[in-house]
A = this chain, B = another copy of it.
Amino acid sequence: MPLKSWIASANDGETDFPLENLPCGVFSVGDGDLRCGIAIGDRIVDATGLEEAGLLRPDPEALVLDAPAWNDFMELGPQAWASYRARLTAMLRHDAPDAARDAIATYSVPMRKAALHMPFRVAEYTDFYASRHHATNVGTMFRGPDNALPPNWLSIPIGYNGRASSVVVSRNPVRRPWGQVKAPDEALPHFAPSTRFDFELELGAIVGLPSDGPVSVARAEAMIFGYVLLNDWSARDIQAWEYQPLGPFQAKATATSISPWIVPAAALAPFRRPVPDRLRPVLPHLDEPHPTGLDIALEIGLTPQDGVETVIARTNASELYWSAAQQLAHHTTSGCPMRVGDLLGSGTVSGAAPDSRGALLELSWNGEKPITLADGQSRSFLDDGDTVTLRGHAQGAGFRIGFGACTGTVLPALDDPYPA
């Protein structure tokens, strides 16, 4: 039985933002300042306003929602997260007292009037490679089917450090990058705009508690404040030339888009599922103590300039062989300090079926089998003007925990990256 809110739009079963969700974002209205907000149905609760007015304070001692970013709130820790969530839920429930309704009515805005901004300051960004189907597909393309999975893949949730400065919120356009590329028949590289620009459908986990030494998978799970959808824009031609032996670098540094709402881990707790069956025993420090995977339906829409959207893939986060908690535990094995605001990308989420693959590289099989869009156009990689939209939700009984869209449009490359 879904929770019922006195805000009717939260109860229709279709909204991404029912009372069970309460995701955290940052918004502005018109020329107003940036404020922390919570999505509920078709409205945004002005959490900064409620705090300033003393009507709902996460911390009795200090303002934490004036930044504007949710980092200071995260610093308060899980008890404060739970307490805030419980108190806000009580203010939004169908049986909320009049005073609470008045407070929310005063401190909320229609979502359609709001612009959304980065919901948190990204401390550091790490990108993993946790979907077995994705790693197998990519490995098959580049190393053949016999060596598709790297030897370490079934033992380590392998990942690399990405570039936090590249992270932008949904709706920011993304400019096609220049870079060094070398075709197989060329002796030397040249410098040119990427012609194999791609997206990657990922789930992003946000670290809400710091650590300073190895942490267990159970502890790691408790450190995760919430989740976003994440598009790891990738220049495949730049990547192919640069990535040996130190890994992806400029190919992944142009931009990384995230959805605007941090869906709390608490809202997703009912949707935990065990990670897929192990194909090789996992060392004890990476074993999951209880289910740490997540059942989140995901889809990718591709819209050509002035065209209509085609949903080009559907998959599920439960395909991920390594959960965010396992990734985070591995991240700390060496003693690597983790900080509030660290963002962990899951890696491309791909399923077994050809239409459940999370990147054009796989969907078009390295350009060999271009996909066809609703209007008859075909794509191997992204064209200028293409808009990529990621969507995701966990389906409850009569409600869904949604993320809001993560979208971005490809702008043409600069004519001259080094004007005189």
Contact = CB atoms under 8 A, between A and B. Distances in A.
A153 to B, nearest CB: 9
Nearest to A122: B124
A62 interface: no
B283 A180 contact: yes
The size class of the interface chain A forms with chain B is 35 or more
Contacts of A155: 180, 188-189
Interface in A397-420: 414, 417-418
The CB with the most chain B CB atoms within 10 A, among A151, A164, A417, is that of A417
The CB with the most chain B CB atoms within 10 A, among A152, A159, A330, A414, is that of A152
A173 to B, nearest CB: 12
Given A335-B253, A335-B254, A246 B160 contact: yes
Interface string A184-198: 000011110000000
A129 B216 CA distance: 33
A333 B180 CA distance: 8
A49 to B, nearest CB: 29
A60 interface: no
A337 B125 CA distance: 14
B123 A334 contact: no
Contacts of A159: 246, 249
Contact of A213 (B182, B235, B248, B414): B414
A163 interface: yes
